[in-house]
Structure 1
């Protein structure tokens, strides 16, 4: 997912997460939230977010 996000493909990363998570497995939302907390706290997030702007 990071490779997708860091190369300007944020929407594809979130789509991948949705499709790749095994349906019977619990913890999807908490895993996503934890991933986002780490990602959004990165010193590079403002630049990464700007690069991905307009994909939502």
Structure 2
């Protein structure tokens, strides 16, 4: 199964609470933190919601 590496590149300070919760649900805390997640519809939806705060890389 394909995986994606998500890295937090912008702060969640002064963001909407739903965006803060989404970032936390993705397993990200501080700026620069990363997490490898399965590439499925649920993960893609969460990433789309906070795409302006994270960077995404395909992992093989």
- TM class by shorter chain equals 0.3 to 0.5
More helix by share: 1
Larger Rg: 1
More strand by share: 2
Relative contact order (alpha carbons < 8 A, sep ≥ 6): 1 or 2 greater? Answer: 2
TM-score (norm 2): 0.31
TM-score (norm 1): 0.33
